[in-house]
């Protein structure tokens, strides 16, 4: 199965993030909101993983995801990345998220799966654009939205677990399905 790991916001936060993606798409040609199944904080994409290896990874993560306390995230503005992705940057306990991502990588190594931990960036994908470069005209729209006190300003949620997400391709579109949850345990 194609497997990826992510911190998934609660439904209430996903609705605000969907609204942001839809608003960006309405205001700028070439911007496309992402489906709700892709609205998360990606940790790693493992590619094609056997079911038994996914279960071994889940067990290893449950054993090694002990963190010093509860994690929370909050929005810190929008940005367009060089690949065209439009993300909501995260504030709050981003050091805790990075530490959880590091420990997930260590747990994966224990079961001989390898994750490039350098790729973890605390942000939530909300839209994509056809413009694959930084400093585009979209920057002005992002700045306007970030400056407003809209529905997504002050978005905050607790991070309690890590989702194991299977991706399947249906009619040329990715369909995400959560196949497991690993709790983040304080300890």
Domain count, the chain: 1
User: What is the CATH number for 75?
Assistant: 3.90.1140.10
Query: pLDDT tier at 124 (50, 70, 90 boundaries)?
Result: confident
For all residues of the chain together, what is the average pLDDT?
Answer: 80
Rounded to an integer, the average pLDDT of 23-28 is: 82
Q: What pLDDT does residue 132 have?
A: 58
186 pLDDT above the threshold of 80: no
- Computed over its alpha carbons, how large is the radius of gyration of the chain? 17
> pLDDT tens digits for 131-174?
654 445 666 666 655 554 344 455 778 888 999 999 888 888 87
103 vs 160: CA distance, rounded Å: 15
Give 159's strand partners.
Answer: 71
Q: Which domain holds residue 43?
A: 2-186
Task: Pick 86 or 8 by higher pLDDT.
Answer: 8
73 vs 117: CA distance, rounded Å: 19
């Amino acid at each position: 199965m194609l497997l990826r790991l992510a911190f998934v916001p609660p439904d209430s936060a996903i609705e605000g993030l969907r609204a942001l993606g839809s608003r960006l798409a309405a205001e700028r040609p070439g911007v496309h909101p992402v489906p709700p199944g892709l609205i998360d904080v990606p940790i790693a994409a493992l590619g094609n993983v056997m079911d038994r290896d996914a279960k071994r990874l889940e067990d290893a993560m449950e054993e090694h995801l002990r963190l010093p306390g509860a994690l929370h995230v909050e929005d810190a503005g929008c940005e367009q990345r060089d690949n065209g992705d439009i993300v909501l940057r995260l504030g709050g306990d981003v050091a805790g998220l990075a530490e959880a991502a590091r420990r997930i990588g260590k747990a994966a190594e224990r079961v001989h799966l390898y994750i490039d931990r350098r790729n973890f960036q605390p942000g939530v994908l909300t839209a994509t654009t056809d413009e694959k470069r930084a400093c585009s005209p979209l920057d002005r729209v992002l700045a306007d939205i970030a400056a407003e006190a809209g529905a997504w300003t002050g978005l905050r949620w607790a991070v309690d677990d890590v989702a194991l997400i299977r991706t399947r391709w249906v009619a040329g579109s990715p369909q995400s399905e959560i196949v497991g949850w690993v709790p983040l345990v304080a300890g």
